[in-house]
Amino acid sequence: MRVATAGEMAAIDRDTIAGGVPGSELMERAGREIVRAALDLFPELAPPAGVAICCGKGNNGGDGLVMARLLDSLGFAVRVMLLALPEDLSPDARLNLDRLPPGVPVIAVPPEEWSERWLAMCGESELAVDAVLGTGVKLPLTPPYAALCAAFARVPTPVLSVDIPSGVAGDSGRVDPVAVRADATVTVGLPKLGLLLPPGRDHIGDLAVVDIGFDAALVRARTADRHWLAPDELADLLPPRPTDGHKYLFGALLVLAGSRAYGGAAALAGLGALRSGAGLVTVAAPAPLETPLRIALPEALIAPLAATAAGTVAPLPPSDVARLLDRRHAVAVGPGLGEDPATDAWVVDFLAGLKQPAVVDADALSAFARLGRTPAFGSSEVVVTPHAGELARLVGVRPAEVERRRLELAPELAARWRAVVLLKGSPTLIATPDGAVAINHTGHDALAHAGTGDVLTGLIGGLLAQGCAARDAALLGAWLHGRAGETAAAGRSRRCVLAREVADALPDAYADLEAVADADRPRRGR
């Protein structure tokens, strides 16, 4: 699903109206779909429950007025607070104010009374609707709006934001200190960039995107090649799983990882691979790690390799490389390989000659930086998974610059390296050599623990071994890994989640995506 900036969304609106769809019709569609989504998001809400709707003077408020009329028709006890006089509303908002039935109470409140009157209204309601400010908000908020947004934090009911929580910037995700923190947000047409970027993403609660009939060709023409990982689209990417399949049909993965200093990284990458759905996982690591890995990963094959004096993988002769790669469908390279000049040089050459699909992470990426080499790969199906620090070393900038330029750097480097770049962070970005960027919305600070990236490497490697293209493996891996982090932390503190617990939660993450696929089968005619 495409992601829009505030300007891109405004252009789509204008072009749609110029093409013959009145703005009032778009507002009607938006209000109708927001109501449907709200009832799905809050299934406990039923007539004659009270709904308080706070409406600004623009089209965001107009959407709220459509909601008021439709919720009233369903039997809800709706009350509306206007932040402007009727004559000051936008034309389409005024039209929908006039369409309200006489039984819906509407009060127009002066700015100095907004907070007090809103809290009183919410005290007698079961849902509070924020239809105040849209995506083009200017920060910081003026005092009356700041006081009103602060009041939303004190309402005793769940909060639903229309399009974007008031006080969150639509493009950057910047927030006013008192920006509304919604329990759910229903955004219209397309997800807005500011909903997916921190800190704005922390204000949206559950996110629903509603379709109001924008032309697909117009959307493509008016937006950058930027996407949100919608679960129904990702479900289509899951590798097939025939009931009569065998382990080689489900893919054989080689994990090249570990060193004397970082044996745990090899174990965690192997665990992520085993949980990926791959049929056979081989972990190749320095010989001193053989026994610990056999104990930690009884389901995997362990291939002991000669070690350097530093305890890293010693350069392998071509015959040993051929033996390791025999009947292996994909390779995961890098976690815990350590720092040794001989290992670095060999790994860089190994990747240059490798023809199998590969995921490259951690010390395999740092080897290029330490040798002053540009990443280059023999395979056309490669995923690289740096965090900001690793990417900074590769391109010779500070990590802070990587964070500031993430949306720009990821596709630029994907094109330069001819590989899919999965840039870990908040949010994780997946960029392809053709310039497209996907934004992953799953995951949170439960993943901010050593070892979770190793699990991700194994997971993506396993997806590659099952036949996923590099792009699809990266998209699926990012979503599943993030969801597993959320699941591992559910009901307890995010502070305490361990990397192996993220791996252990992958079956639940897969089940969530498989449930989406199963639900969609009748619609897709399967």
Q: Which residue intervals of the chain bear CATH 3.40.50.10260?
A: 6-224
User: What DSSP letter does each residue of 226-256 carry, written as one string?
Assistant: EEE--HHHHHTTSPP--TT--TTTT-EEEEE
Residues 6+ apart with CB under 8 A from 356: 325, 328, 329, 330, 331, 379
Tokens in use for 16?
A: 């749609």
In which residue are the tokens 């469908």 written? Answer: 329
Average pLDDT, the chain: 96
Read off the pTM. Answer: 0.93
The angle formed by the CA atoms of residues 8, 9 and 14, to the nearest 5 degrees, is: 95
| pLDDT the model gives residue 525 | 45
How many Cα atoms are found within 13 Å in the side-chain-facing hemisphere of 429? 30
Q: What is the pLDDT of residues 446-485, one digit of tens each?
A: 999 999 999 999 999 999 999 999 999 999 999 999 999 9
Q: What is the pLDDT of residues 357-402, one digit of tens each?
A: 999 999 999 999 999 999 999 999 999 999 999 999 999 999 999 9
| pLDDT the model gives residue 522 | 57
Q: What is the pLDDT of residues 107-119, one digit of tens each?
A: 999 999 999 999 9
CA-based torsion, 459, 465, 469, 470: positive or negative: positive
Mean local confidence (pLDDT), 390-416: 95
Tokens in use for 45?
A: 């809400």
Tokens in use for 231?
A: 């679960």
Backbone angles phi, psi at 397, to 5 degrees: -130, 175
| pLDDT the model gives residue 42 | 97
In which residue are the tokens 């569609």 written? Answer: 29
Burial 476-494 (b: 16+ CB within 10 A, else e): bbbbbbbbbbbbbbeeeeb
| pLDDT the model gives residue 468 | 98
How would you list the strands of the sheet with 127-131, edge to edge? 106-108, 77-82, 50-55, 127-131, 159-162, 184-188, 206-210
| pLDDT the model gives residue 524 | 46
The verdict on domain 6-224 having CATH code 3.40.50.300 is no
End-to-end CA distance of the chain: 22
Among 195, 202, 261, CA closest to 439: 195
| pLDDT the model gives residue 230 | 87
Which CATH superfamily is 252-524 part of? Ribokinase (3.40.1190.20)
Distance CA 272, CA 288 (A): 22
**Residue 78 pLDDT greater than 50, yes or no:** yes
Q: Which residue intervals of the chain bear CATH 3.40.1190.20?
A: 252-524
Percent of the chain clearing pLDDT 70 (strictly above): 99
Among 216, 163, 218, CA closest to 194: 163
| pLDDT the model gives residue 266 | 98
Prior bond of 199 cis (ω within 30°): yes
